Amino acid sequence: MDDGFAWIIFVGTVLLAAGLWLMAPRPRSRGPWSGLLVVAFGLGALVSQLPAVGGAGPEFIFYLLAAATVLPAVATVTCASPMYAAIWFAMTLLGSAGLFLYQGSQFLGVATIIVYAGAILVTFLFVLMLAQPSNNASYDRLTWEAPLSAGAGAVMVGLLTLAIVSVFQNDVAAAHPVSEVTQAALDKELLNPEHMARLGGQLFSRHLIAVELAGTLLLVGLVGCVAIVTQMHKSRVPKASGVGRAMTEVVTGGSMTHVGMSGPISAGAGPGLGGKSHV
């Protein structure tokens, strides 16, 4: 078997790691474009080893959706501002919802948008607004061991791509296909026009216990959340009163001096009143 594809995947992995490292947030920002170019070359090297989806139309739609998923993902992890990272992640979710729809799983595509982008991501944004002290924190432009982690992520991608490509290029595997589903069978089961009815039937018959467990998990999560938040306030009370008093003293002292300093100035500089009093 020709193993030229392994070298190309290796080069793609190295380029992906280098590009991610170049794009990682750093104290003195250089702009994302050089890193993005390297990442694009790496992705191109990986994609060049994949078989065509078949036909120009499906090809175009698939690569559009894949690009709308992967490129915002790169932007999510490399964007210094957490607010923009969350919004880029919403773009990733929209792209993957498109991928789900393209596979014919309509419910998941819609649920990803509603539950993930609509509920979970908005919760993230709420917490960001609650907890983000200033617009530009220094730790957002610092990373842990960016080269090593870029290498780890890229090696993961490279190994998985190598495994996927080599398994399906293998002659033995091609001679004994694991599963060859015909279009007729797909139309009867997974791509059935009554998608929701089939899905709900499966969910509430074969996976009924899992549904009950998931409901219990949600309830436990809710109770745990409330417990954490109430405990948080209880444990803060003795400390918070002391800190709070000190803070208010500082703030009132500061604002008093501010008022004392700015009072006469603003009265003198006031265009209407100050002028009239002099006249």
Partner 1 sequence: MSEVALLENYLVVGALLFGIGLFGFFSRRNMIVMFLCAEMMLQGVSVSLVAWGRWHNDWGGQMLVIFILTVAACEAAIALALVLALYQRSGSLDVAFWQSLREDNQPPHVDRELPPTSGDDKHWPTLTPSGLEPPPNLEEVTHRSHV
Contacts to partner 1 from residues 58-87, by CB under 8 A: 58, 62, 66, 69-70, 73-74, 76-78, 82, 85-86
- Give the nearest distance from C-beta 245 to partner 1 in angstroms: 17
- Give the nearest distance from C-beta 257 to partner 1 in angstroms: 23
Among 1, 64, 142, 197, binds partner 1 (CB under 8 A): 142
# binding residues, partner 1 (CB under 8 A): 111
φ, ψ (nearest 5 deg) of residue 94 = -65, -45
Which residue, 240 or 261, is less far from partner 1 as judged by CB? 240
Residues 6+ apart with CB under 8 A from 154: 13, 14, 16, 17, 20, 42
8 part of the interface to partner 1, by CB under 8 A: no
2 part of the interface to partner 1, by CB under 8 A: no
186 part of the interface to partner 1, by CB under 8 A: yes
31 part of the interface to partner 1, by CB under 8 A: no
Among 4, 27, 238, 260, binds partner 1 (CB under 8 A): 27
- Give the nearest distance from C-beta 249 to partner 1 in angstroms: 18
Among 31, 175, 179, 260, binds partner 1 (CB under 8 A): 179
CA distance linking residue 102 with residue 94, whole number of Å: 12
Which residue, 127 or 259, is less far from partner 1 as judged by CB? 127
52 part of the interface to partner 1, by CB under 8 A: yes
Nearest 10 degrees: CA dihedral of 268, 272, 276, 278? 20
CA distance linking residue 191 with residue 60, whole number of Å: 21
Which residue, 219 or 259, is less far from partner 1 as judged by CB? 219
36 part of the interface to partner 1, by CB under 8 A: no
- The alpha carbon of residue 204 and the mean position of all alpha carbons in its chain are separated, in whole angstroms, by 31
HEC-encoded secondary structure of 81-100: CHHHHHHHHHHHHHHHHHHH
Q: Which two tokens stand for residue 210?
A: 């899992």
Please state, as a whole number, how many other Cβ atoms lie within 10 Å of the Cβ of residue 180: 6
- Give the nearest distance from C-beta 128 to partner 1 in angstroms: 6
- Give the nearest distance from C-beta 260 to partner 1 in angstroms: 23
Q: How far apart are the two ends of the chain, measured CA to CA in Å? A: 98
Cβ atoms of residues 161 and 9 within 8 Å: yes
Which residue is associated with the tokens 């030229």? 4
Q: What is the DSSP string of 205-259?
A: HTTHHHHHHHHHHHHHHHHHHHHHHHHHHHHHHHHHHHHHHHHHHHHHHHHHHHH
Site for partner 1 in 219-238 (CB under 8 A): 220-222, 224-225, 228-229, 231-232, 236
Among 1, 160, 250, 267, binds partner 1 (CB under 8 A): 160
Q: Which two tokens stand for residue 52?
A: 């065509």
278 part of the interface to partner 1, by CB under 8 A: yes
Site for partner 1 in 83-122 (CB under 8 A): 85-86, 89, 92-93, 96, 99-100, 103-105, 107-108, 111-112, 115-116, 119-120
